[in-house]
Amino acid sequence: MTTDQAIVFAVLGAALVMFMWGRFRYDIVAILALLAVVLTGVLPVEQAFDGFAHPAVVTVAAVLVISRALQNAGIVDVVLRVLAPLRGRANLQLIAQTLVVAVLSAFMNNVGALALMLPVALRNAYRDGYSPARALMPLAFGSILGGLSTLIGTPPNIIIAAYRAEALGEGFSMFDFAPVGAVVALLGVTFVALVGWRLIPRERLEAQSREAMFNVADYVTELRVPEESELAGKTIDDIEALAEDDAVIVALVREESRRLVPRGYETVRAGDILVVESDPAALKELLNTTDFELEEDKEILTDDLSSDEIGIQEVIVGPASSVRGRSPANLLLRTVHGVNLLAVSRQGRRITRRLSHAQLQAGDVLLLQGPTERLPATLAEFGLLPLAERELSIARPRHLLLSAGIFGAAIVTVMTGTLPAHVAFVGAVAVLALLSVIRGEEIYKAIDWPVIVLLGALIPVGATLETTGGTALIADGMLAMTASLGPVWVLVVLMVGTMFLSDVINNNATAVLMAPLALDIASRLEISADPLLMAVAIGASCAFLTPIGHQSNTLVLEPGGYRFGDYWRMGLPLEAIIVVTSVPLLLVFWPF
């Protein structure tokens, strides 16, 4: 082993450890690996950032923007219209949602398709009274499976096609992946929707009813401010501070009037009745530190906390919501927006203690009380999604037709070989921008920059593995293991090895590292590289054993309430099905 080879293996080994450790984001790890091979002289300085001009990187960025344009144009409304007849039929909902996300992810980025369908699945689960855990892991797996079918469905396919173009002069076309990928996707979706979700631990599948989650009668109490009270003249904020903001005054009754969502600066008078929402511990704390008196016990209903001007709304914390990772105490909902947060439900169960200090997560359901005319703006500002049904209508029909038409035209140019994929899809983005289907600032927001940095940094690092002869060393080892077994077993070992590598590091990084290995093995065995490249494409995308191998898995971890060890229960049999199915299909459609 030469010095340069030793450096490259050491850098890649350290990068793999850091990917698995998860302490640093994967794009940071990729940049560190790039700097390491440049500073040690293995990669010439002038080639350090060539990866950012790689066709695969440009294509991934363009497809992300087109996906955002389709979302903005109202494709989610079309999906909701399709699924509307299945209300109340949980099993059919699960099958339909998983199938729809698989179809969408074949023609748009699979993470984008999942982000589009995630709020739909959450709303259906909470509305119909079953745990989100039942639907979200199948949804994530469905988005990954659907991406196997086309060139643009998942970044590993784009990466593999780009490597083939460099090595053989021509990449894979738009639907070259379909003969194997579509069959695998269909079988995989059938498995996860009908059988796989039943392998999720039973405790994850338990959920309270929607009514039980937000039964305000259990948490709302009326307190009277007695005559000559020490707190008469204090503000609403002062009183809530006595319970460390874990008690919320949702209404103030004074004589014959009831003020809903009183402002924090309003003062309390003797004789007032305060309607307080809190858990038992916070209520006890408030009673111990004040001279307030409990009113006679009477049931308070949600209708008592709303009016024509004040509404009660259940909303979902979406994956892109700005409230993720923040506590209710620092959102300043009442101060800035005049909105009260009454309750939070997580994975179908209400959070009952120290609500003000709980960090909100994607998938949490919030019960908000506030002015009817302000609630829509508040929801939009924080990226919150209404749980209640709304009238289904396509947001911008003209934009949806334009987006679909422009996208379709780009696909046709790729299929006919008129333009390469990266040029065709960048051209589509330019036309969408010129026609104002997507705004300029949205273009940059739509791009997942950590993924772009990961690819741009790792492609040159992967190239050093090949230029230093490191790929040849790995190929020698793999061929020595399978020397007496023939090329079919080389194919199986390559696919399975790629799958397991993709389970512990980012799937895009796996494709970058394994594609050169597939080409080298094919050259040594003097066989077609196509089946081996296709095996890498399938293996790199099929990361089902952990939540870290694919962004789709990570996206549903919080809202589904899953644990790290939950994924392999469904993922391991799914990966076995994929290997058993795809290997014979590869031999038929991409023979050696």
Measuring CA to CA, how many Å separate 353 from each of 132, 164, 247, 338?
Answer: 22, 56, 10, 23
Place 394 in a pLDDT band, splitting at 50, 70 and 90: very low
Which segments of 329-418 does DSSP mark as H helices, in order?
375-382, 397-415
Q: Give the range with max mean pLDDT: 206-215, 401-410, 555-564.
A: 401-410
- End-to-end Cα, the chain, rounded Å: 31
pLDDT reading at 38 higher than 70: yes
Which has more pLDDT, 271 or 247?
271
**To which H or E segment does residue 313 belong?**
strand 310-317
pLDDT reading at 484 higher than 50: yes
> Residue 22: helix, strand or coil by DSSP?
coil
Q: Phi then psi for 252, rounded to 5 degrees?
A: -130, 120
Task: Identify which of 78, 86, 70, 115 has the alpha carbon closest to the alpha carbon of residue 193.
Answer: 86
pLDDT reading at 588 higher than 80: yes
Q: What residues are paired with 384 via a beta bridge?
A: 317
Place 570 in a pLDDT band, splitting at 50, 70 and 90: very high
The domain limits of the chain are: 3-48+75-206+448-589, 56-74+394-447, 213-304, 310-386
Single-letter residue type at 384:
L
> If you search the block for the tokens 């302000």, which residue do you land on?
374
**pLDDT, position 213:** 58
Distance CA(550)–CA(532), nearest Å, equals 21
Residues 6+ apart with CB under 8 A from 176: 151
Q: What residues are paired with 221 via a beta bridge?
A: 276
- What angle is formed at CA 85 by the lines to CA 80 and CA 87, rounded to 5 degrees? 85
Q: Give the range with max mean pLDDT: 305-314, 318-327, 425-434.
A: 425-434
288 torsion bin: left (phi>0), alpha (psi -120 to 50), beta (else): alpha
pLDDT reading at 319 higher than 70: no
To the nearest 10°, report the CA torsion of 254, 255, 258, 262: -10
DSSP state of 394: -
Which segments of 289-396 does DSSP mark as H helices, in order?
375-382
Place 393 in a pLDDT band, splitting at 50, 70 and 90: very low
pLDDT reading at 306 higher than 80: no
Percent of the chain residues past pLDDT 70, beyond the cut: 90
CB 139 within 8 A of CB 93: no
Place 255 in a pLDDT band, splitting at 50, 70 and 90: confident
Mean pLDDT of the 239-261 span: 79
**pLDDT, position 210:** 56
Distance CA(158)–CA(175), nearest Å, equals 12
> If you search the block for the tokens 């409304």, which residue do you land on?
77
pLDDT reading at 355 higher than 80: no
Tens digits of residue pLDDT in 176-186: 999 999 999 99
Q: Phi then psi for 205, rounded to 5 degrees?
A: -90, -5
Tens digits of residue pLDDT in 411-445: 888 888 888 888 998 999 999 999 888 888 788 88
Residues 6+ apart with CB under 8 A from 332: none
Which segments of 74-132 does DSSP mark as H helices, in order?
75-83, 90-107, 110-128
Place 354 in a pLDDT band, splitting at 50, 70 and 90: low
**pLDDT, position 8:** 86
Task: Identify which of 510, 572, 520, 568 has the alpha carbon closest to the alpha carbon of residue 541.
Answer: 510
**pLDDT, position 149:** 93
**pLDDT, position 113:** 81
Least reliable range by pLDDT among 191-200, 375-384, 496-505:
375-384
DSSP state of 320: T
pLDDT reading at 303 higher than 80: no
Tens digits of residue pLDDT in 161-203: 988 988 888 889 888 999 999 999 999 999 999 999 999 888 8
Distance CA(185)–CA(193), nearest Å, equals 12
Same fold, 213-304 and 310-386: yes
pLDDT reading at 128 higher than 80: no
pLDDT reading at 452 higher than 80: yes
Mean pLDDT of the 497-522 span: 85
Distance CA(410)–CA(588), nearest Å, equals 30
Distance CA(268)–CA(122), nearest Å, equals 40
**pLDDT, position 585:** 95
**pLDDT, position 391:** 41
Place 301 in a pLDDT band, splitting at 50, 70 and 90: low
Distance CA(523)–CA(168), nearest Å, equals 11
Helices (H) and strands (E) in the chain, counts: 25, 10
Q: What residues are paired with 381 via a beta bridge?
A: none
* Crossing angle of helices 55-73 and 449-467, rounded to 10°: 160
For domain 310-386, give the fold: Alpha-Beta Plaits (3.30.70)
Task: Identify which of 588, 479, 455, 578 has the alpha carbon closest to the alpha carbon of residue 187.
Answer: 578
> Residue 341: helix, strand or coil by DSSP?
strand
- What angle is formed at CA 579 by the lines to CA 491 and CA 572, rounded to 5 degrees? 130
Instruction: For the chain, give the mean pLDDT.
Output: 82
> Residue 312: helix, strand or coil by DSSP?
strand
pLDDT reading at 208 higher than 80: no
Q: Which homologous superfamily is 213-304 in?
A: Regulator of K+ conductance, C-terminal domain (3.30.70.1450)
Which has more pLDDT, 280 or 64?
64
Place 77 in a pLDDT band, splitting at 50, 70 and 90: low
> If you search the block for the tokens 């191998």, which residue do you land on?
549
Burial 378-390 (b: 16+ CB within 10 A, else e): bbeebbbbbbeee
Place 22 in a pLDDT band, splitting at 50, 70 and 90: confident
Place 296 in a pLDDT band, splitting at 50, 70 and 90: low
> If you search the block for the tokens 């299929």, which residue do you land on?
415
Mean pLDDT of the 216-238 span: 81
Mean pLDDT of the 12-29 span: 82
Place 447 in a pLDDT band, splitting at 50, 70 and 90: confident
Q: What residues are paired with 366 via a beta bridge?
A: 315, 344
Task: Identify which of 321, 333, 327 has the alpha carbon closest to the alpha carbon of residue 371.
Answer: 333
Tens digits of residue pLDDT in 426-435: 999 999 999 8
